[in-house]
Amino acid sequence: MSAQYPTRPSSLSGAIIAALALMAGHSHAKATFVVNNIDAAGVGLNDPTPAVPVGGNAGSTVGQQRLNAFQYALDLWGKAIDSAVPIVVEASFPDFDCTTGVAPLGRASTTSIQFYIPGLLETKPGLEPSVLYPEALADRLAGTDLSPGDADITAEFNGSVSSCLGADWYYGFDGKSGENFDLVSVILHEVGHGLGFSYLPDPTTGELFYMDMPDPYTRHLLDNSTSRHFDVMTTSERLASAGNVRHIVWDGPYVTQAVAAYLAPGAPNLTVNPPIAGLFGALLEMNYGPHVPAEPITGPLSVGNPVDGCATLAGLTGSIALLYEGNCGEMNMSKRAEVAGAKAVIFVGESTITPPKSSVEYAAQYLNAMTWAIPTVQLSKTEGDLLRGAVASGVNVTLAANPTQRVGADPSGKAYIYASVPTTITSSLSHWDPLCRPNLVLEPAATLDNPRDLTMETALLRDIGWEPFCGNGRPDATEECDNGTANSDTAPDACRKDCTKAKCGDGIVDSSEQCDSASDNSDTLADACRTNCVKAKCGDKVVDTGEQCDDGAANGKAGSCGTDCKLPSTSSSSGAPGTTSSGGDSGCGCKVQSTQSDHRSWLMLGLLVLALRRVRRVYSPRRTGAASRSIGRKEPAVLFRLRNGGWTCLPWRNILERVCCDH
């Protein structure tokens, strides 16, 4: 990865030129991103403060490292999606408003929405009429920049993080951000929204974005309890479904395929007996201790004493312990519950949002400090309180993993989109469910492992229209090959422009072929390139130029054409007429031969006259007394009486050729 990337501080056209120049160096990229650096000299992406190379980022200034991290993240997206149109990202590093303890890290969105109306405008290939598209996707589908000069995505990142949070950006590419904030992760996440991983309808009113037109994202959002997609819902239905926790799924084929291949099996489920009204059981997993096993863990629910587990616990033998967030660390409370005999721990966090946006995670160095034998799961405070209220009357809890259900998907294999309650506060429907295992880039909260894998996100973008296309340089599912710009319909052995392999019949003579006339290849026409891309030759059962006959494999056999595709000078059989086939126009150059005015011509002409006196026309076998045989195309033919007393049957044409060619 080169650390040096061109930027365009001043003009968009300059950036595009720079990007096009970069394309040669990123031949495997399917989409090209252009960073349109709008920061002024000396600040943000142009900050000249010296910096030490870190985590693969070799930039020597803060500005250059920021730019490198930006381009690194965009290149990851560029390898994941396809577009023949460069995607322009307007980037800057301004100082955001922040306060001690709270600071925005970054924000992004599509700059605009595109659509066209049928009947008023000409058809736009690739764009579906009356459908709303984010700018970059519209360009990609149209195959052209629909708004030249305008950026496709706007992305801003905070240039003064450390002043409010006491920690700074980490500019390395390797995700080892430690206590700092991983810039690559934040860019990956936010640019994903800008590419179209975003719910457009108004979450407070339920209205579609514009003129009741759908968008590809909303079309794939499905409430699996009503089997209704969000684009066809009424506004009230949309509002209600937005809070249908763990029932909003993505039903696009690419994502469903990715779920089966990428998400881990063994979705954890929580059930209670007797049931508690209003309880979703929308749990999350901690990143310490074992996962919920397939073998059900069942026990009476017991509230810890103390409830935050910050002192020795007792009386939990055989129970599922309910513990609330305290000040002593979740992993410690889990250990105390385990020591006290609990089978599992339900941890109740501070957030009232169901399900919580994130689970508790600890960095690896802390996890190594101890081990846990029982699983801990997390619920929102709202759900925890429901459970706690039922303890007095007695409630049994069962935790079990469904080995056939993926973690982060519903039982039918469709990925959950994060839907939460209270609906109007948090349910933006623009992230995966944080339950997903492994962690994903577009979960609602950052995870410690700073994931880089875009498998699931790529699948979602493909579902909304970022499908791969031939010519992207990488063979996709339906392609035999793809060498990008090296695809050719004229070069031998090249991957063809339709992403099929070079083959006989494509009109190009490849290394394993003698000829290739595409659709003119023929196994019946004289002199044609054969359908196996071998040149016409003696023995292919077609009488080509220079041949008198061709019986294929039978050439040379008695009564057949000779091995040299010449009529045998004494083609005969002792008792029955011999046969040859005559196909096509087999002229052998009579005109040339006839110019030879030697004495043999006259001699042969005389012999012909003599022969004709002995002939019998053979239109009817009965008339000749010979066996019925097919002769070529039922041409007029004659029977010759041979010297040995046998007969041979020759068409007139061949007789004339013999006269011309042999003599």
Query: Residue 425 or residue 612: which is nearer to another protein going by CB?
Result: 425
Query: Residue 129 or residue 475: which is nearer to another protein going by CB?
Result: 129
Q: Could you identify the residue written with the tokens 């029982």?
A: 374
> What Rg do the C-alpha atoms of the chain give, in angstroms?
40
Residue/partner pairs of 16-23 with CB below 8 Å, 24 or more apart: 16/86, 16/88, 19/86, 20/86
Query: Residue 262 or residue 432: which is nearer to another protein going by CB?
Result: 432
User: Minimum distance from CB of 444 to another protein (Å)?
Assistant: 6
User: Minimum distance from CB of 10 to another protein (Å)?
Assistant: 20
DSSP 8-state code for residue 662:
I
- Give the contacts of 601 (CB within 8 A, at least 6 positions apart): 594, 663
Query: Residue 47 or residue 361: which is nearer to another protein going by CB?
Result: 361
Query: Residue 112 or residue 398: which is nearer to another protein going by CB?
Result: 112
The answer to whether residues 227 and 167 touch, using CB atoms and an 8 Å cutoff, is: no
- Give the contacts of 346 (CB within 8 A, at least 6 positions apart): 270, 283, 301, 320, 321, 322, 323, 376, 377, 378, 379, 384, 387, 397
- Distance from first CA to last CA of the chain, Å, rounded? 77
Q: How many beta carbons lie within 10 A of that of residue 461, not counting itself?
A: 27
Strands 265-273 and 284-285: unpaired
User: Minimum distance from CB of 114 to another protein (Å)?
Assistant: 5
Q: Find how far residue 75's CA is from the centre of its chain.
A: 16
Q: Which amino acid, one-letter code, is at 460?
A: L
Specify which residues 647 forms β-bridges with.
Answer: 573, 641
Query: Residue 364 or residue 477: which is nearer to another protein going by CB?
Result: 364
User: Minimum distance from CB of 152 to another protein (Å)?
Assistant: 11
CA distance 565 to 585: 14
Query: Residue 98 or residue 525: which is nearer to another protein going by CB?
Result: 98
Query: Residue 30 or residue 343: which is nearer to another protein going by CB?
Result: 343
The answer to whether residues 134 and 16 touch, using CB atoms and an 8 Å cutoff, is: no
Q: Where are the beta strands (DSSP E) in 173-305?
A: 181-182, 221-223, 228-229, 248-250, 265-273, 284-285, 297-303
Query: Residue 146 or residue 248: which is nearer to another protein going by CB?
Result: 146
Query: Residue 121 or residue 491: which is nearer to another protein going by CB?
Result: 121
Nearest to 335 by CA among 365, 361, 310: 310
Which pair of tokens denotes residue 49? Answer: 């403060």
User: Minimum distance from CB of 54 to another protein (Å)?
Assistant: 18
Query: Residue 195 or residue 222: which is nearer to another protein going by CB?
Result: 195
- Give the contacts of 232 (CB within 8 A, at least 6 positions apart): 214
The answer to whether residues 145 and 139 touch, using CB atoms and an 8 Å cutoff, is: yes
Write out the H or E segment, with its range, that includes residue 33.
Answer: strand 33-37
Nearest to 32 by CA among 97, 76, 83: 83
Q: How many beta carbons lie within 10 A of that of residue 337, not counting itself?
A: 28
Query: Residue 292 or residue 360: which is nearer to another protein going by CB?
Result: 360
How deeply is 427 buried, as exposed, middle or buried, from its count of CB atoms within 10 A (0-12, 13-18, 19+)?
buried
